[in-house]
Amino acid sequence: MTHRFRDLLALEPLTADELSFLLDQSKPFQEIQRHPLKKLATLRGKTVALAFFENSTRTRISFGTAASRLGADTMNLQAEASSLKKGETLLDTAFNLNAMKPDCLVMRHAASGATHYVARHLDIPVINAGDGTHEHPSQGLLDALTIRDRLGTIKNLNVTILGDILHSRVARSNIHLLGKFGCRFTLCGPAMWAPRELEKIAPGTPIRCVYRIEEALEGANVILMLRVQTERLNEPALSSDDYILLYQLNAERLRSASRDAIVLHPGPINRGIEITPEVADGPQSCVLEQVTNGVAVRMAILYLLISGATETDTHPALEMKPKESANASD
């Protein structure tokens, strides 16, 4: 079954079938990460614009690596150096980038919905690399791919998400993806970061908020850690000492989870705050696999969107120039 995608803005509107297709299409690119020569010429001559209006290291490098391994060139826009600082509107910046004729725009922005807004005004595929507290679709996909590789399935799992869920687009993308495969979610963190309203963000998906970490970890197959933004940890609401005491994932607490439970973290890790080095570097941790899979998932996304946008509507069997089309298998 083939699926067509114009943009990739969020996982929430996608069906389980479409999500499976995206994960399956990442497999050939996982193999390429193991090749001695990792560079393809598939998107030679294409240009991917990377517009990160909010700081990012991993995601930007990952998309840049994905583009270059597919043979595409990249244009880079970084927040600090951009004209936004000089008062240009977001849309003007996007139009100016688009005027340099990229074939795809990868965009991150601190405001939820900013990527949708820009996508509505551009005729090239737009990929959301994280918008505010809304979604981070490529992260959701790479997490699901990592889980599927380790546990053999993403169906009907108990997923525990730990940390600042309220502000996390990673948590939302994961809930919207895994929820469509029958996963059940337990959200755990300080009450201000795991409000009960979150139980209703994905109708049809069982989500519960609990406030004791031992209870949250019980029977978990997947533990999804979120980065604690240390600037949000301050007296008197919650000091980092309190956070460590109440919510840090350490080896002892990990034992309440299922024996083969895996631990994911989107990075960057605050060692010794939300997770102990023992767990982060332990056999249950998938942190570095996530990073490797990130490149594969992003190659699949870029390939699907850019080749989809290049596509001619004619079916090859009925095309008038027979020489180009006959024996498609040849």
Quick check: 152 binds another protein (CB under 8 A)?
no
- To another protein, the closest distance from the beta carbon of 28 in angstroms equals 5
- To another protein, the closest distance from the beta carbon of 299 in angstroms equals 9
Quick check: 311 binds another protein (CB under 8 A)?
yes
Quick check: 47 binds another protein (CB under 8 A)?
no
Closest CA to 159 of 125, 141, 182, 132: 182
Phi-psi region of 127 (alpha: psi -120 to 50; beta: other; left: phi over 0): beta
Quick check: 197 binds another protein (CB under 8 A)?
no
Quick check: 85 binds another protein (CB under 8 A)?
no
Question: How far, in Å, CA of 252 to CA of 257, rounded?
Answer: 10
Give the nearer residue to another protein in terms of CB position, either 48 or 217.
Answer: 48
Give the nearer residue to another protein in terms of CB position, either 72 or 213.
Answer: 72
Quick check: 37 binds another protein (CB under 8 A)?
yes
Burial class (CB in 10 A: 0-12, 13-18, 19+), 51: buried
Give the nearer residue to another protein in terms of CB position, either 175 or 306.
Answer: 306
Quick check: 40 binds another protein (CB under 8 A)?
yes
Quick check: 33 binds another protein (CB under 8 A)?
no
Quick check: 303 binds another protein (CB under 8 A)?
yes
Where does this chain touch another protein (CB under 8 A) — which range of 26-34, 56-64, 172-180, 201-209?
Answer: 26-34
Question: In the set 6, 27, 196, 255, which binds another protein (CB under 8 A)?
Answer: 27
Quick check: 25 binds another protein (CB under 8 A)?
yes
- Count of residues in contact with another protein, rule CB under 8 A: 37
Question: In the set 6, 15, 17, 35, which binds another protein (CB under 8 A)?
Answer: 35
| Binding positions for another protein, rule: CB under 8 A | 2, 25, 27-28, 31-32, 35-43, 300, 303-304, 306-308, 310-312, 315-318, 322-330
